Amino acid sequence: MARENLVAQLRQSDEWDFIVIGGGATGLGTAVEAATRGYRTLLLEKYDFAKGTSSRSTKLVHGGVRYLAQGNIALVREALHERGLLRRNAPHLVHDLKFVVPGYTWWSQFFYGAGLQVYDLLSGDLSLGRSQFLSEQDTRSRIPTLKTDGLRGGVVYHDGQFDDARLAITLLRTLLDYNGVALNYLPVIGLLKQGERLTGVLARDAETGETFELKGKIVVNATGVFVDDVRRMDNPKASAMLSPSQGAHIVVDKRFLPNDSAMMIPKTEDGRVLFAVPWHDKVVIGTTDTPVEHTSYEPHPLEEEINFILHTVAQYLTPAPTREDVLSVFVGQRPLVKAEETESTAALSREHVISVSASGLLTITGGKWTTYRKMGEDVVERAIQLVNLSPHPSITSNLHLHGWTQQSTAAPLDVYGSDAASIQDLPGANILLHPQLPYLEAEVRWAARYELARTVEDVLARRTRSLLLDAIASMQAAPRVAAILAEELGRDTTWQQQQIEDYHSLAAGYLLNHESTADSSDRSKKVLSNA
């Protein structure tokens, strides 16, 4: 649906049942939950869908091995159940992935093997596969680049892998399929009240400047690491709910992990696990857990985070990646619920929390991608109680998400599911955006026509994953993306040039200079001059 048609619905509606603020995993999950139950649902996003944390995960749909080690059985069981549902409801986006845990002592192999068997049991009927012990030879065959000095064997277990931003767009399409309305670049700039009671939101279209007073029976604050900002819009004296942290990831060439198995390092110096995961023919390595005082839509890695990742993975892989091998670096911030009794964000719970203010603002925070559906279900159930909505049962546990298909399609169109054939009919279906990227020009047109992509960044960062896979290649592809978008959206050459400059400035933050992450802008200027 065209954006202007969605905006027109804002002018025509008297009152929504649900107004959801935030277009990440939690907001989209809540909106889909509400719309599929038949409630009139509106979602508003300040920038683009999954612009923040929801496009910067470790790309895993998992129960959380670390939470099992902490003894949080209930959280692991719930997440494993949701993992299984998501694998069933979006088979075009969620896939089984084998993880190898190398063992360098007989004790570690036995310990992790036993723990992962508990992990299997907790997944029940929705298991993706059973874990098993590996011999030294089997471990080496699965991870050919693994250091072999002292290697005794390993354990293999199964978890899910996905493309986070593509799942977000799939949820957007699902929401629209069920007559919900969602708009990016339409921030909420104020809250409407009647007396002390919250009755809706004031929003402004960032593209046109038009403002809207939108009435809603319930307003849901699902803005991730920014929930406290919206809560203070409601009550300036509201205390902080979050102790946010950030996690950095690096992306390197597949030669560092040449087979299809991932590697899990079960214990690092900061008490986390570290993953090396094959993804879109590259390898994602992460993550860290660093407390941060300030939240940002474009967080940057700290030097110690990059050094930690490279130092840790070098203890296991040979050859090991160095700074020169990093194609892109990205950072996600986690909305960890505040816990005064601990100073370690690695120990904070990822369980979600729902709170309701005196005015009726419903805030949902915490959680992770794997449990997005359950979070949305819990929000809608709470909202029904709060404002006496007519109750309707949830159907999302068995809901086929947009594009659902069990037929396999070759990459890069596999993530579109049943829409892949339609993309192949568009101009540019056989033309690569860039020789170092897997994406097609037709995908840009599809993103503009059917996925509400409005900027070069929307296309290269989230509709495709070009920015994360190879930051420099994405910068070189930016002019062609701008030209196609201009054609699709009716923009002029001045707009195109501004888009290219804006994108190059953004992408500079994803480059890892050999001396300092802060100096990456120099590299971006060279790319711009050669583009």
Q: Could you tell me which residues are beta bridge partners of residue 284?
A: 251, 277
Q: What is the mean pLDDT of residues 51-76?
A: 87
Q: Where are the alpha helices (DSSP H) in 284-326?
A: 303-314
User: What does the alpha-carbon distance between residue 59 and residue 511 come to, in Å, rounded to a whole number?
Assistant: 20
Segment holding 218, helix H or strand E: strand 211-221
Q: What is the mean pLDDT of residues 269-276?
A: 86
Largest CA distance in the chain: 71
Position 65 scores a pLDDT of 79
Residue 86: exposure state from Cβ atoms within 10 A (0-12, 13-18, ≥19) = buried
Q: Where are the alpha helices (DSSP H) in 57-177?
A: 65-69, 73-89, 106-123, 136-142, 164-177
Residue 48 has pLDDT above 90, yes or no: yes
Lookup: tokens for 124: 């029940």
Q: How far out from the chain centre does Cα 372 lie?
A: 11
Give the torsion sign (CA, 97, 157, 287, 48). Answer: positive
Pick from 66, 166, 144, 156: nearest CA to 102:
156
Q: What kind of fold does domain 89-161+243-338 have according to CATH?
A: D-Amino Acid Oxidase; Chain A, domain 2 (3.30.9)
Pick from 245, 304, 314, 257: nearest CA to 284:
257
The DSSP letter of residue 206 is: T
Lookup: tokens for 479: 């002019």
Q: What kind of fold does domain 3-53+166-241+348-398 have according to CATH?
A: FAD/NAD(P)-binding domain (3.50.50)
Q: What is the mean pLDDT of the chain?
A: 92
User: What does the alpha-carbon distance between residue 252 and residue 298 come to, in Å, rounded to a whole number?
Assistant: 21
16 in Cβ contact with 159 (< 8 Å): no
Lowest mean pLDDT among 126-130, 282-286, 299-303, 335-339: 335-339
362 in Cβ contact with 218 (< 8 Å): yes
Position 526 scores a pLDDT of 47
CA distances from 456 to 297, 445, 463, 513 (A): 17, 12, 10, 23
56: alpha, beta or left, given left = phi > 0 and alpha = psi -120 to 50? alpha
154 in Cβ contact with 139 (< 8 Å): yes
Residue 511 has pLDDT above 90, yes or no: yes
The angle formed by the CA atoms of residues 395, 366 and 184, to the nearest 5 degrees, is 70
Position 176 scores a pLDDT of 98
In the chain, where are the structural domains located? 3-53+166-241+348-398, 89-161+243-338, 413-530
233 in Cβ contact with 224 (< 8 Å): no
Pick from 404, 508, 513, 456: nearest CA to 87:
404
Three-state secondary structure call for residue 13: coil
User: What does the alpha-carbon distance between residue 527 and residue 206 come to, in Å, rounded to a whole number?
Assistant: 30
Which of these CATH numbers, 3.30.43.10, 1.10.8.870, 3.40.50.300, 1.10.580.10, describes 413-530? 1.10.8.870
102 in Cβ contact with 316 (< 8 Å): yes
Q: What are phi and psi of 127, to 5 degrees?
A: -65, 145
CA distances from 63 to 77, 122, 267, 290, 350 (A): 7, 9, 17, 21, 11
User: What does the alpha-carbon distance between residue 159 and residue 164 come to, in Å, rounded to a whole number?
Assistant: 15
Is the pLDDT higher at 209 or at 107? 209
- pLDDT, tens digit (0-9, with 9 covering 90-100), for 446-468: 999 999 999 999 999 999 999 99
Residue 190 has pLDDT above 90, yes or no: yes
Question: In the structure, what pLDDT confidence band is assigned to residue 30 with cuts at 50, 70 and 90?
Answer: very high
Lowest mean pLDDT among 75-89, 333-347, 394-408: 333-347
Position 515 scores a pLDDT of 40
Same fold, 89-161+243-338 and 413-530: no
User: What does the alpha-carbon distance between residue 378 and residue 428 come to, in Å, rounded to a whole number?
Assistant: 43
Position 350 scores a pLDDT of 56
Question: In the structure, what pLDDT confidence band is assigned to residue 339 with cuts at 50, 70 and 90?
Answer: low
User: What does the alpha-carbon distance between residue 81 and residue 92 come to, in Å, rounded to a whole number?
Assistant: 19
- pLDDT, tens digit (0-9, with 9 covering 90-100), for 109-156: 888 898 899 888 898 888 888 999 999 999 999 999 999 999 999 999
Lookup: tokens for 290: 């660093």
Segment holding 224, helix H or strand E: none
Give the torsion sign (CA, 318, 252, 286, 166). Answer: negative
Question: Which residues have CB under 8 Å from 501's CB, separation 6+?
Answer: 528
Position 523 scores a pLDDT of 45
User: What does the alpha-carbon distance between residue 112 and residue 121 come to, in Å, rounded to a whole number?
Assistant: 14
Pairing between β-strand 16-21 and β-strand 262-265 as defined by DSSP bridges: unpaired
Residue 494 has pLDDT above 80, yes or no: yes
Three-state secondary structure call for residue 170: helix
- pLDDT, tens digit (0-9, with 9 covering 90-100), for 348-400: 445 789 999 999 999 999 989 999 999 999 999 999 999 989 999 999 999 99
Q: What is the mean pLDDT of residues 58-81?
A: 86
DSSP H helix total and E strand total for the chain: 17, 18
46 in Cβ contact with 335 (< 8 Å): no
User: What does the alpha-carbon distance between residue 52 and residue 290 come to, in Å, rounded to a whole number?
Assistant: 17
